Chains A and B, each alone.
Chain A
């Protein structure tokens, strides 16, 4: 393979990886889960392909993956390029593989989300470094005008990672406030009793366990429609109880259906406490 074709292949591969990562990142929401899974596998496959391409390319050519060194043998590339490639490829590979693993081992999901966020920052840093090296002066002039705006964006975007636990705590704190004076903390035992209680309000849904099964960490099934229901336990489904509007809507609807009445703020907090303990 001539160096020219190797370089074309490299650019094609770069586009495939960058595109796959971008799609995986923006489709991480549950609503677009199928696309997220597909693009995640795509990213992992692209990284494996890169290792194979390195074997197929000529030594020292565009497709070669030079061993990262600490010394700079001039003339030649700055050794930091190789380190950057290692960091990027390893970060994305581990992020991708942990995403696949999270399908089988739920607690890997936190690791996966953390790594994915970190990978995005690596990619942005990578783009900035490359832009700086090859378009330095032009970039510096552009930046002078928009430095303040950039800083604001960075400050706003940074705390987005690991927000799920904080969001759930906020939901619980809201119920603690509503519980008013005399409130003495939520109890996961009371939550368990509520979850397992049998009721007479509706013959089709005698208990929470009718649809959710007796094990909150297991997948449930809607008693009437047969629709699969994701686990309620936080350990099996970390996104549970993080969106106030959704949580309220569900309690309002399901308490009425199963218990035949509204739930008190304390009961709601107890229920969440039980699901966090499972």
Chain B
């Protein structure tokens, strides 16, 4: 009994750390394929319809060719759709969808109203620093971004 109480107490103590976490990608294939060229963004940042559209046009992926075998793309699409903002994305997912039209299929996380609101105080020259290079380079500033933690501003 003592042990169970101790375990429960430890779990409770760990809760605050999980509260504002965006569920990170855990599927190894998805992590490897997306994470090769950029951070493997958490699926909760875009709705399922956006991911489906993105995975259907990989040969023109933000101006670059990210083509992969069709069955691999489909497996990854399923992982992304399962964790998307409007499916398994939880609280972080519903926040990401604020201001996004019901039938819109946004592709750039950095163009979501929520992203703009959260980053409006960042000066243009900060984005241009060589270690940042791109707005999509979350871990340049949010050191634990890949683990789903963005609270370190």
Contacts and interface: CB of A to CB of B under 8 A. Distances in A.
Interface of A: 29-32, 204, 221-227, 245, 249, 252-253, 256-257
A31 B31 contact: yes
Contact of B133 (A32, A224, A252): A224
Given A249-B69, A257-B64, A225 B31 contact: no
A31 B28 contact: yes
Interface in B1-58: 28, 31-32, 35-39
A116 B91 CA distance: 43
A249 B131 CA distance: 28
A225 to B, nearest CB: 4
User: Which 5 pairs from chain A and chain B are nearest by CB?
Assistant: A226-B133, A226-B137, A225-B38, A31-B28, A256-B65
B140 interface: yes
A225 B67 contact: no
Contacts of A245: 69
Secondary structure of the B side of the interface? loop
Which among A222, A226, A252, A257 has the greatest number of chain B C-beta atoms within 10 A? A226
A196 B134 CA distance: 25
Given A31-B28, A31-B31, A222 B67 contact: no
Interface of B: 28, 31-32, 35-39, 62-69, 131-134, 136-137, 140
B67 A253 contact: yes
A226 B36 CA distance: 11
A227 B64 CA distance: 15
Nearest to A211: B37
B62 to A, nearest CB: 8
B65 A224 contact: no
A56 to B, nearest CB: 27
Contacts of A257: 64-65
A2 B66 CA distance: 64
A29 B31 CA distance: 13
B140 A226 contact: yes
B31 A224 contact: no
A29 B63 CA distance: 31
Contacts of B137: 225-227
Given A31-B28, A31-B31, A257-B64, A226 B134 contact: yes
Contact of B134 (A224, A252, A253, A256): A224
B132 A226 contact: yes
A252 B136 contact: no
Contacts of A221: 133
B74 to A, nearest CB: 15
A87 B66 CA distance: 49
A262 B86 CA distance: 39
Given A31-B28, A31-B31, A31-B32, A225 B134 contact: yes
B37 A252 contact: no
Contacts of B65: 253, 256-257
Contacts of A253: 65-67
Contacts of A31: 28, 31-32
Contacts of B36: 227
Contact of A222 (B28, B32, B38): B38
A89 to B, nearest CB: 32
Given A249-B68, A253-B65, A257-B65, A222 B37 contact: yes
Contacts of A32: 28
Which among A31, A221, A227 has the greatest number of chain B C-beta atoms within 10 A? A227
A168 B62 CA distance: 32
A149 B36 CA distance: 40
A227 B38 contact: yes
B127 to A, nearest CB: 10
A241 B65 CA distance: 20
Contacts of B38: 222, 225, 227
Nearest to A226: B133
Contacts of A30: 32
